[in-house]
Amino acid sequence: MSVSVRDALRMAGLYMVLSILWLVLSELVLRGMTDDPLALTVGRQINVVVWVLLSALLIFVSRARLLNFIGIGARLRSEDRERLRMAAAVFDSTLEGVLVTDRNGLIVHVNRAFMRITGYQQEEVIGQRPSKFKSGRHGAPFYQQIYAALAEQGEWSGEIWNRRKSGEIYPQWQTICAIRDDSGALSHYVAVFSDISAIKHTEEELAYLVHHDPLTGLPNRLLFNDRAMQAMAAAQANKRGCALLLLDLDHFQSINDGLGHTIGDQLLKLVGERLREVLGSGVTLARLGGDEFGVLAENCQQVGLAGKLAQSIIERLKEPFCFEGNRLFISVSIGISLFPSDALSAEQLLRNADSALFKAKSNGRACYALYTEELTAHAQQRVETAGELRRALEQQELRVFFQPVHDLFTARMIGVEALVRWQHPQRGLVPPGEFIPIAERTGLIAEIDAWVLHQACRQMVQWQTEGRQLAFVAVNISSRLFSQRDLYRQVADALHDTGLDPAQLELEVTESAVMEDPEVALEQLHRLRELGVTLAIDDFGTGYSSLLRLKRMPVQKLKIDQGFVAGLPHDEDDIAIVRVIIALARSMGMQVHAEGVEQAEQARFLLEQQCQLGQGYWFGRPVPAAELHWG
């Protein structure tokens, strides 16, 4: 029996009871009012009419309310149908897969996204259990946890791996909800999930990039340090050693500057591939940054083995790299530090290898050097000196000394060279060999050179005011300052601020600085020459000058490096080189200036070879301006 029939019977019974009560009560009232049969008959008829009227009114009100309720219900049913249509549209068009099961776990409905993600059609899964999609990656405790959460909270969310129809296992982010009816009884389960394969792939790529160099695919510094710590822990547990080699490509910047960063990047990739070939398996190779590579050999317990490995790398990288029409040569410097003899931590091992690398570069590059405790002391001293040198610039601890330059024909001082010295408040006069290389490495040399330039020009003007007769003051220009585009402006400002005649200023540029980028150097030299200053090539003969480029350069003087003067007049090689330089300079109309003249016989030999100028301890040591001898 339906609910509507039961309600109708209930209403009919209620109406019957009310009718009986009305008749009984009305009869009692009439008998209480009169005993006249006629009056009773009339009263009963009136009572019937009144009940009929009341019944009609009740039926009218009930009918009106029923029709109104039916109208509202119809409107509600229409709105419900609209909501159901909207829900069905959302259900089918959502990008997340949706799966609905009954209380027994049998699938009763899926949406289109489910079919797209899993590869199954609707008819293939209806009536099946969701266990059909199990990947096998999760054990029973995992699924028990899901059932427990659904029983206690009615919902579970998390990452789960399932299997597509193709057999591919993939990750999902899934939310499962328990659905209950009006009585609170469990009726269905709804699972909504999304495929997070792309997110997982992105996470893996990011994790890879965090620990690897994107250019070469090698481990980066972060991963290298981590592997170094693991290797050292394993070596310590097994009572064996390991070696860390730090590699730096020599003069790699010149390739970037000359051929471009694209060629430089290609070369780095080829270097990485070649290093892999040399090292093989069982050795960690990493690119630590720029042109620096790291090698961790875990089964290298002896210095000889580490040295042999380093030498094999040096020899292999000497072979040419041929690509994209280029045939490039590169050398490598290597610093070696051993565990546990040199360091007990990865950080210290890397620092020590860096100190050894610095030593290898100082030894002429294209070689390897082993770490010693002395190197740590030197490295620490370099760091301290760099910090103190910055303070020296601020505290005006630097001094300009002047060394006389003599005309070899007249034996008269005709000029001076300005040389920087450091008057340290505790250590006294610091030799230039200690702080100049550090200044060059830290970039402070450009600022120091600019300061010396102004001081030398100012001192030259003061000597002129005092009536001192000097033809020139020479100032060294470091390669770092020479490479700056505004050098022309700095020199012009120094001349303008001090009032020095440009013809009395000589700028000395090393041969190596000129040859770093000959075309740019040529432009720089011409701009400086336009100011009216004299230009000199310092340390001539120590670089790789092209005579064609030398001919195009607006220089007036060649300075013979003291290394060639030291062996005069007995060393046959030095004699031959000096004669060639003098002959070359004279043929090109340049002056020749010899440095490092310390003996009378050296000066005599140079004079015999028609060298015009000489400088060195034989003529005078560098001294402050006030102590310069004018005799």
- Cα–Cα dist 308/314, whole Å: 10
| SS percent in the chain: helix, strand, coil, step 5 | 55, 20, 25
What is the distance of C-alpha 70 from the center of its chain? Answer: 72
pTM above 0.75, yes or no: no
pLDDT of residue 247: 93
Token pair, residue 26, equals 């009305």
CB 242 within 8 A of CB 232: yes
Which ranges of 180-220 does DSSP label H, i.e. alpha helix? 197-211
DSSP category for residue 219: B
Predicted confidence at residue 295, as pLDDT, reads 92
Q: What angle do CA 288, 293, 296 make, to 5 degrees?
A: 100
d(C-alpha 392, C-alpha 547), whole Å:
41
Mean pLDDT, 10 residues at a time, the chain of 631 residues? 70 80 78 76 78 80 67 58 69 83 90 90 90 89 90 90 91 91 86 88 81 89 89 81 89 81 90 89 87 88 81 90 87 89 82 87 85 62 74 86 93 92 86 81 84 93 90 88 83 92 91 73 87 87 60 85 88 90 88 92 92 92 89 66
* Torsion sign, CA atoms 302, 308, 314, 320: negative
Do the domains 217-371 and 95-200 match in fold? no
* Residue 547 pLDDT: 63
What pLDDT, on the 0 to 100 scale, is given for residue 473?
Answer: 94
CATH number given to 95-200: 3.30.450.20
Which option is the CATH number for 389-627: 3.20.20.450, 3.20.20.150, 3.90.550.10, 1.10.10.10?
3.20.20.450
Q: Please compute, for residue 555, the number of CA atoms within 13 A of its CA located in the half-sphere on the CB side.
A: 28
- In the chain, where are the structural domains located? 3-89, 95-200, 217-371, 389-627
Residue 110: both structure tokens together: 């899926």
Answer CATH for 217-371 from 3.40.190.10, 3.40.50.720, 1.10.730.10, 3.30.70.270: 3.30.70.270
Q: Are strands 428-430 and 472-477 parallel, antiparallel or unpaired?
A: unpaired
Encoding tokens for residue 409? Answer: 């024909």
CA distance 610 to 338: 56
Before 624, cis peptide (omega within 30)? Answer: no
Determine the Cα–Cα distance for residues 248 and 258; give it in Å rounded to an integer.
19
pLDDT at 238: 79
- What is the greatest pairwise CA distance in the chain? 178
Residue the block writes with tokens 């006069």: 429
Number of H helices, E strands in the chain: 22, 22
Partner residues linked to 293 by β-bridges = 247, 287
